């Protein structure tokens, strides 16, 4: 079968590889679509993701498809089911797993990171991380349940109330997801700061954003204004802007992934005086069911955010920045007919 294989740092090659064998507790998925995200950029560049990827490896931790075969011990899905896969596999034995914090698992493995993922025609996953897709959700939409679930996990770490005003910093795909998810969770006003006029305008006209700020054009984010701030960029400048925009008693979710050695400055007295909560968020434990429900309810429109549909041969252009501004790219493997 055909696969796009990461063979080394900044090396992606289309190869013919064997179809994987299915263990008793595993599911074989015929891939429909596989999303590409910042983690894939990092893995391509030789940086760590949720875990280290050791080439040769098939990436594709965001994916959807149709069950082609199930192991003898599998009972939760059957051949022909439309599914999506939570890539993260926890050991269940370390202190973090045993104290209700599996996202911090000391022995984390992941489909599309430490084992082959969705950039191939067929891949396997433990049945425990395979989720059926509601009938009214397309396979294309379902291919991005993993990033939705990461945002949902971040939201679950906060205390939200309808009266709150929220600001999302970052108009990339994750920031745009947070706009819709915050509204789905009842926040009455969501504002968005970014750098692309077209994205800001679309989120204002289609997704209910009240105020937008293009910081590249000199727009100033209001200071001490917001009860909830989502930082979805991961740069020191935007992290400092997140703290500055937080009102008294605010919660700041530092969701954006910064460089391993990046730091930012903050005034410690301000944290004290404003009684801020600054929260990190890592991966997506126990968030797939909620994410699928949000898609099924119609409260999330993810296909409107998908700007590029690629094939194996154009993925290299994407990760090398040759496609210009990309909101979200997905690789069509088998498509809706998988």
pLDDT digits (tens, 9 = 90+) for 259-303: 889 999 999 999 999 999 999 999 999 999 999 999 999 999 999
Confidence of residue 185 (pLDDT cuts 50, 70, 90): very high
Alpha-carbon dihedral of residues 287, 53, 11, 144, nearest 10 degrees?
-10
Distance CA(57)–CA(326), nearest Å, equals: 25
Structure tokens at 65: 């498809």
Average pLDDT over residues 47-63: 90
Q: Which CATH class is domain 158-280?
A: alpha beta
CB 137 within 8 A of CB 198: no
* Element of type H or E holding 165: strand 165-169
Position 320 scores a pLDDT of 85
Check residue 321 and give its pLDDT.
83
pLDDT tier for residue 325 given thresholds of 50, 70 and 90: confident
* pLDDT for 38: 84
Q: Which of 146, 79, 148 is nearest to 113 (CA)?
A: 146
- What 3-state class would DSSP assign to 243? helix
pLDDT of residue 322: 87
- Give the pair of three-digit tokens for residue 56: 């040769």
Count of beta carbons in the 10 Å neighbourhood of residue 293: 15
Check residue 259 and give its pLDDT: 86
Average pLDDT over residues 146-155: 98
**Strand, coil or helix: what is 205?**
helix
Distances (CA, A) of 297 to 53, 203, 301: 35, 19, 10
CB 173 within 8 A of CB 330: no
d(CA 184, CA 137): 17
- pTM for the full predicted model: 0.96
Per-residue confidence (pLDDT) for residue 41, from 0 to 100: 86
> What is the Cα–Cα distance from 300 to 123, expressed in whole angstroms?
27
pLDDT of residue 47: 83
pLDDT reading at 122 higher than 80: yes
Instruction: Tokens 């005086």: give the residue.
Output: 273
Q: Band of the pLDDT at 2, cuts 50, 70, 90?
A: very high
- Average pLDDT for 117-141: 98
The CATH number given to 2-146+284-337 is 3.90.180.10
Query: pLDDT above 90 covers what percent of the chain?
Result: 90
3-class secondary structure, 103: helix
Rounded Cα distance between 190 and 183, Å, is: 7
Structure token digits, residue 82? 């439309």
Angle among Cα 175, 176, 179 to the nearest 5 degrees reads 90
Q: In this predicted structure, what is the pLDDT of residue 324? A: 83
pLDDT at 244 (0 to 100): 97
- Using pLDDT thresholds of 50, 70 and 90, give the confidence band for residue 111: very high
Strands lying side by side in the sheet with 212-214: 212-214, 189-194, 165-169, 226-231, 246-254, 277-280
Q: Are strands 189-194 and 165-169 parallel, antiparallel or unpaired?
A: parallel
Question: What is the pLDDT, as a whole number, of residue 72?
Answer: 98
Residue 244: is it exposed, middle or buried by C-beta count within 10 angstroms (0-12/13-18/19+)? Answer: middle
State pLDDT tens for residues 18-29: 999 999 999 999
Q: Is the pLDDT of residue 50 over 80?
A: no
Pairwise CA distance, residues 20 & 13, whole Å: 18
Q: Which helix (H) or strand (E) holds 166?
A: strand 165-169
Residue 196 in contact with residue 328, Cβ under 8 Å?
A: no
Distance from C-alpha of 318 to C-alpha of 214, rounded to nearest angstrom: 24
Give the pLDDT confidence of 188-234 residue by residue, as tens digits: 999 999 999 999 999 999 999 999 999 999 999 999 999 999 999 99
Domain ranges for the chain, please list them. Answer: 2-146+284-337, 158-280
How much is the pLDDT for 194?
98
85: Cβ–Cβ under 8 A, 6 or more apart, which residues?
29, 63, 64, 111, 118, 125, 129, 130, 131, 146
pLDDT at 9: 92
Q: What is the overall mean pLDDT for the chain?
A: 96
What is the percent of the chain where pLDDT is above 70?
100
Q: Over range 7-33, report the average pLDDT.
A: 97
């Amino acid at each position: 079968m055909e696969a796009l294989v990461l063979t080394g740092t900044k090396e992606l090659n289309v190869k013919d590889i064997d179809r994987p064998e299915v263990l008793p507790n595993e599911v074989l998925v015929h891939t429909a679509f596989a999303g590409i995200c910042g983690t894939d950029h990092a893995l391509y560049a030789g940086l760590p993701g949720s875990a280290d990827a050791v080439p040769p490896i098939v990436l594709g931790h965001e994916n959807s498809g149709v069950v082609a075969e199930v192991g003898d011990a599998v009972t939760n899905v059957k051949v022909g089911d439309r599914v999506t896969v939570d890539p993260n596999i926890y050991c269940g034995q370390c202190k973090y797993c045993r104290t209700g914090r599996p996202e911090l698992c000391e022995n984390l493995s992941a489909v599309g990171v430490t084992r082959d993922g969705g950039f191939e025609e067929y891949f396997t996953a433990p049945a425990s991380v395979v989720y059926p897709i509601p009938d009214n959700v397309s396979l294309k939409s379902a291919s991005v349940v993993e990033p939705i679930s990461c945002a949902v996990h971040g939201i679950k770490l906060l205390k939200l109330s309808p009266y709150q005003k929220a600001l999302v910093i970052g108009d990339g795909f994750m920031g745009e997801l947070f706009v819709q998810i915050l509204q789905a969770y009842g926040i009455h006003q969501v504002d968005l700061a970014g750098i692309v006029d077209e994205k800001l305008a679309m989120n204002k006209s289609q997704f209910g954003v009240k105020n937008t700020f293009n910081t590249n054009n000199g727009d100033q984010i209001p200071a001490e204004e917001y009860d909830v701030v989502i930082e979805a960029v991961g740069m020191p400048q935007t992290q400092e802007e997140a703290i500055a925009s937080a009102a008294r008693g605010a919660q700041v979710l530092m969701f954006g992934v910064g460089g391993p050695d990046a730091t930012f400055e903050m005034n410690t007295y301000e944290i004290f005086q404003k009684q801020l909560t600054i929260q990190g968020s890592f991966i997506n434990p126990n968030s797939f069911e909620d994410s699928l429900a949000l898609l099924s309810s119609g409260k999330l429109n993810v296909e409107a955010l998908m700007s590029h549909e690629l094939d194996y041969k154009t993925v290299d252009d994407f990760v090398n920045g040759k496609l210009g501004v990309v909101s979200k790219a997905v690789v069509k493997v088998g498509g809706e007919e998988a």
